[in-house]
A and B are shown apart, each in its own frame.
Chain A
């Protein structure tokens, strides 16, 4: 136990401050407060991803990103979630599971489609096995493109979904 405490103390605080403008952070906090009573709970669904986007969603949980500090939390059940984070081109074998998971989310609910595949099927396209994008199955608020999008792009997508108009596609950064 002492060793663990030692190690934690040696590393200090690893979370990083955000490069978002102060005004954006305030909008974010207001939106969280008004719409969710402080915290935003996310449910992730892999609808046929290659696991690349999952790597970046995992990376969001690295201490550098201070996820809980931002008022975000991943939930084990869609019934406790406000926002669905969906990856993959939607394989036809996941279509029904995605539909049901979406239906299990209480209203109001938001959907963020993740990755080039979540956008339009990406490299896997549309075929006998893939539907070619999340919006083919459930209504999508924001698309975060990238292969895979970085943790910061994911955060921006979530921010956009919660604070602004629906239906936006985040531009691919340079």
Chain B
């Protein structure tokens, strides 16, 4: 079989990426070839290119970088061959693209809507250029066709969208026998806010502000990825000090989120003392952020062309001291959890995703690394400070809750090392562009390893520098389906624990 050789264009910027245009006839064979070579699907989306055609877009992680495929589809027949049998995570991406833009994946395994509930009709597509983005008349809510399981003693437990805890909304439908989960079917999309349409009315600087709120717990990752895409299009490098400070904030974000998750992972097995001890640490770290930059979660610290604030020598000293305290305290808590038989009993073999299953389903990010999927952009495509700092990737092979806990501990210690490294070797100079370059048309990508996993951004600017298309992809979109497999055979009371061990974003996947 010959591999089609399309036109290749290298994209400038921090992320090693190139763009190719392929015909829809060649798409499947190209994807199959790439899959054989070890590529995985990062994102799939569409764009309305005006009168003549739509474009289908795919982002593939390949050896050495990111390959952006652009597939023109004629307006009168916006269809393409389905790819969910090649890349498992294409399933929901295809359905989301159908809901928002009306590009149909022919031969797909399922045709249920994904992001569309009742806010817009089946024959209207909010992301098309003719649509104004205004409210459609509200439709009657139709029940989602959940997959049912039949058999003696099987019953269903519906959960959500409003959950018992303080978490984001989504619906989980469990089919159980007694306490055991036979199947979980998930319906998300409740927090769909139309951010991609919203972006098209924003100036580039406002876009970064929005990008920091795609998933509020990953504000640094989201804003940085969008900043990368914008800076790539504008064709200007960011001051080196700014890149180092961005990496510093990204590691701080990883640190506070992991601390909070470990607290909840104690809480969900009834170890409330562990919850309090971890959350006392997290709260202290958040207050440090407030003292340093005036925001507990580092919102709006990433700006176009740099960061909002520099760090003084005294700031660096206090961060260094906090690293030492945290390292000591987290080690003590790790020992505490490891020695606690009750905790270990709940963690071990719970919610297991074997490496083979993880590979087949395309599990990535933190949860992927706990199932031996060794992807970490800080290692595979390191940008400025990471290349030098040589990140040690945390991986486990067991793929259970215990493994996801262990990866979090490893990553906390590695982040603490990185934070100290970044402070130690922080280059001098400005940390923000002194003026914005003139607007420019073009395409660019951003790709950042957030605490949960990768955040990808594809961006296209028009001739006046206006946003033509912005598509952010949180790793949650790819990882949510794996949760359905992870809970099979487990008991219902372990679901909150398993769910927390993944801690995927609802808002980030709903868009």
Contact = CB atoms under 8 A, between A and B. Distances in A.
A54 B161 contact: no
Contacts of A49: 168, 191, 216, 507
Given A3-B339, A14-B276, A58-B260, A51 B507 contact: yes
Given A77-B164, A128-B134, A7 B277 contact: yes
A11 to B, nearest CB: 7
B217 interface: yes
Interface in A51-98: 51-59, 61-64, 74, 76-78, 88-89, 91-97
Most buried by B among A11, A47, A55: A55
Given A7-B336, A49-B507, A150-B296, A128 B283 contact: no
Interface string A95-131: 1110001000000000000000000000111111110
Contacts of B505: 51
A29 B213 CA distance: 36
A79 to B, nearest CB: 12
A8 B277 CA distance: 8
Q: State which size class the interface on A falls in.
A: 35 or more
Given A46-B168, A92-B119, A128 B297 contact: no
A48 interface: yes
A56 B297 CA distance: 9
Interface in A21-63: 44-59, 61-63
Contacts of B333: 7
Contacts of B165: 76
A97 B162 contact: yes
B192 interface: yes
Interface string B233-252: 00000000000000000000
B299 interface: yes
A130 B192 CA distance: 8
Q: State which size class the interface on B falls in.
A: 35 or more
Nearest to A43: B162
Contact of A52 (B299, B332, B340): B299
Nearest to B256: A55
Contacts of A125: 198
B42 to A, nearest CB: 22
Interface in B267-320: 271, 273-274, 276-277, 279-280, 282-283, 286, 296-297, 299
B135 interface: yes
Contact of A48 (B164, B166, B190, B280): B190
Contacts of B193: 48, 89, 91, 124, 127, 129-130
A56 B282 CA distance: 11
A164 B345 CA distance: 49
Contacts of A44: 166
A52 B210 CA distance: 13
Interface in B403-460: none
Contact of A50 (B133, B215, B271, B340): B215
B169 A94 contact: yes
A51 B215 contact: yes
B194 A148 contact: no
Given A4-B273, A46-B191, A129-B193, A64 B280 contact: yes
Nearest to A76: B164
Contact of A101 (B117, B162, B164, B189): B162
B146 interface: no
B7 interface: no
B40 interface: no
A127 B193 CA distance: 8
Contact of B190 (A8, A63, A94): A94
Given A96-B141, A123-B209, A148-B216, A128 B119 contact: yes
B123 to A, nearest CB: 14
B99 to A, nearest CB: 11
Given A45-B162, A46-B169, A93-B118, A62 B280 contact: yes
Contacts of B260: 55, 58
A72 B209 CA distance: 34
B219 interface: yes
B336 A3 contact: yes
Given A46-B167, A49-B168, A50-B215, 12 more contacts: A49-B216, A52-B216, A52-B219, A63-B276, A93-B118, A94-B169, A97-B161, A123-B210, A127-B198, A128-B120, A128-B133, A148-B297
Interface of A: 3-4, 7-8, 11, 14, 44-59, 61-64, 74, 76-78, 88-89, 91-97, 101, 123-130, 147-148, 150
16 contacts: A3-B339, A4-B271, A46-B169, A49-B168, A49-B216, A51-B216, A52-B299, A53-B216, A64-B280, A64-B283, A89-B193, A92-B135, A93-B189, A93-B190, A101-B162, A128-B119
